[in-house]
Amino acid sequence: MKKIVIMFIIAIYLNCITIPAQAYSFEINTTGVYIITGVREKEDIRWKYLQPLVDPFITNGVTMIPLKEFAEVFGYKVVYLERGQKALVQNINDEKNLVFTIGSISVLLNGNKDIMPRSPVIQKGVILIPLRYVAERFGLNVEWKKIDQKNHLIWVSESSMLCEDDCIPDDNYILEVDNVDPNARLYHLKQDGITSKGVKIKDSYERVIELYGAPDKIDHQKDGTVKRIVYSREILPEFDMDKYLIIEFGQGLVTTIDLILID
């Protein structure tokens, strides 16, 4: 009976997380650099491989990515000004704008001068710019993983992704599932425990967001208050283990925190 109850709890948690494996179909490229974008759609994050006309590449530790195709995923408009070889990037919603100049590391960010680690280049008529620089100016989160000597996966998301430290159960956690399912383990934060980023039971929703950032998924009560939020790490099918941090709320305060690891 206990086994059935525990596995039912895990099933409920996993059903709260959208993992559309079919969205990860992609073609092998020539550079081994694969970009996965995460765009918020209502309460969920939609993950998708970016497949631009010109493949991203890494040079001297800097990842270069096609500006227009990348920016448009996140709602930015790109206008190329052939005179002066400049690219204007605008977001109408937040009035943010950047002006890049081909061959120059100088950038105008909302009218103020800024510096990039590498200047934009043009390949096959496509402008490429440093990925992390522009992503962070857009307010996006970037995670990077080296698969082997040639292949790299880079996540760029509007949500916050767990770091490895967030996924290591320590003395603050109790193992709730033991020898039930070798592929799934549920760790429950102790009442006096604390997470890697400092969240505790009875902390406010605002405190959690302050420390962890925007979650992958938010579930609400019927009255509109937050019921549950989910953070994930490496949710792509290429990886050996999926990791989720699930935080439940009652009356705006943390009631339970669970860490789920699935091989």
The number of distinct structural domains making up the chain is: 2
pLDDT attached to residue 238: 46
pLDDT attached to residue 180: 62
pLDDT tens for 127-146 read 999 999 999 998 898 888 77
Number of neighbouring beta carbons within 10 Å of residue 150? 9
Sheet with 126-130: list strands edge to edge. Answer: 57-59, 62-66, 126-130, 121-123
What six digits make up the tokens of 100? Answer: 């890049």
> Which residues constitute the domain of residue 52?
31-157
Whether 126 and 37 map to the same domain: the answer is: yes
Whether 39 and 126 map to the same domain: the answer is: yes
pLDDT tens for 26-36 read 567 778 888 88
Whether 118 and 192 map to the same domain: the answer is: no
Q: How far is the C-alpha of 197 from the C-alpha of 77, rounded, in Å?
A: 35
Whether 52 and 69 map to the same domain: the answer is: yes
Whole-prediction pTM = 0.69
Residues 6+ apart with CB under 8 A from 83: none
- Contact indicator for 67, 129 with CB cutoff of 8 Å: yes
